[in-house]
């Protein structure tokens, strides 16, 4: 059976408008509910992130406090390392007289007799010494040999053999004189030979640590 709308046209238009307004209100309410749920969810996310940030900030503050507490120990360790390196550098830069004497005993000719042997470390090779002016090390007679033999040729051979010792350089003849010959003595030659210690390739380390007085 066909349904017939007996409402006047004005009432039908009004009813249609009211239904549209009702749907609009329902849609608006749904949008508001969805926005409210989104706001609550985002607010919870912000609270969680803020809690994480606060926790991380507390951990950072704790680590920074530990760093401040351990700073003196770090300075002590740095000083200890610097002292160890300085001591090692000084030890490596020392003049090994025992090695030099051993090498002299190996190269000295059999007919050469040493009476005195004097050695001194030059100031430029001492720990903490300033570099030589102009970058050229001064040549000084650091080691002095005094003795006697039979001929000047023996003295020359002794000087040549001293040149084989790597720690010595600038070997010079200071004096060489012959003694008078008698019926009971053989001719002898008294000599004095000087040499310089070979300088270091790098300056010896300082004995005072950098910043020790600060």
Mean pLDDT in consecutive groups of 10 residues from the start of the chain, 214 residues: 59 69 85 88 87 89 86 84 75 78 92 92 73 56 92 92 92 84 68 90 58 44
The CA-atom distances, in angstroms, between 196 and each of 125, 144, 199, 214 are 12, 9, 9, 39
Both 86 and 153 in a single domain? no
Give the model's pLDDT for residue 204.
60
Show which of 92, 122, 155 is a domain's final residue: 92
Give the model's pLDDT for residue 211.
45
Q: How far apart are CA 113 and CA 146, in angstroms?
A: 9
CB atoms within 10 A of CB 35: 10
CB atoms within 10 A of CB 213: 6
Give the model's pLDDT for residue 26.
86
Both 101 and 183 in a single domain? yes
End-to-end CA distance of the chain: 110
Q: How many structural domains are present in the chain? A: 2
Show which of 92, 125, 154 is a domain's final residue: 92
Q: How far apart are CA 69 and CA 150, in angstroms?
A: 75
DSSP-derived secondary structure for 94-135: S--HHHHHHHHHHHS-TT-EEEEEEE---GGGSTTPPPPGGG
Q: Considering the domain boundaries, does residue 127 fall inside one?
A: yes
Nearest to 124 by CA among 203, 201, 196, 194: 203
Both 178 and 122 in a single domain? yes
The CA-atom distances, in angstroms, between 24 and each of 17, 34, 99, 138, 192 are 10, 15, 106, 104, 122
Nearest to 199 by CA among 103, 90, 95, 47: 95
Both 148 and 176 in a single domain? yes
Q: Considering the domain boundaries, does residue 169 fall inside one?
A: yes
Contact partners, residue 19, CB within 8 Å, separation at least 6 = none
Q: Considering the domain boundaries, does residue 214 fall inside one?
A: no
Q: Considering the domain boundaries, does residue 3 fall inside one?
A: no
Show which of 31, 62, 92 is a domain's final residue: 92
Both 179 and 105 in a single domain? yes
């Amino acid at each position: 059976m066909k349904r017939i709308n007996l409402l006047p046209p004005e009432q039908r238009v009004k009813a249609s408008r009211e239904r549209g307004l009702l749907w609009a209100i329902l849609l608006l309410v749904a949008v508001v509910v969805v926005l409210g749920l989104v706001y609550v969810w985002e607010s919870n996310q912000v609270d969680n992130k803020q809690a994480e940030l606060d926790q991380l900030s507390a951990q950072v503050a704790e680590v920074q406090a530990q760093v401040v507490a351990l700073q003196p120990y770090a300075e002590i360790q740095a000083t200890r390392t610097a002292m160890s390196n300085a001591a090692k550098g000084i030890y490596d830069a020392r003049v090994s007289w025992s090695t030099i004497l051993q090498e002299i005993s190996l190269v000295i000719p059999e007919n050469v007799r040493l009476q005195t042997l004097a050695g001194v470390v030059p100031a430029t090779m001492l720990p903490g010494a300033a570099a030589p002016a102009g970058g050229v090390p001064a040549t000084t007679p650091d080691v002095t040999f005094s003795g006697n033999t039979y001929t000047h040729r023996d003295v020359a051979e002794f000087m040549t053999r001293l040149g084989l010792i790597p720690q010595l350089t600038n070997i010079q003849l200071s004096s060489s004189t012959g003694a008078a010959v008698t019926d009971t003595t053989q001719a002898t030659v008294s000599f004095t030979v000087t040499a310089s210690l070979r300088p270091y390739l790098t300056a010896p380390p300082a004995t005072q640590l950098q910043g020790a007085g600060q």
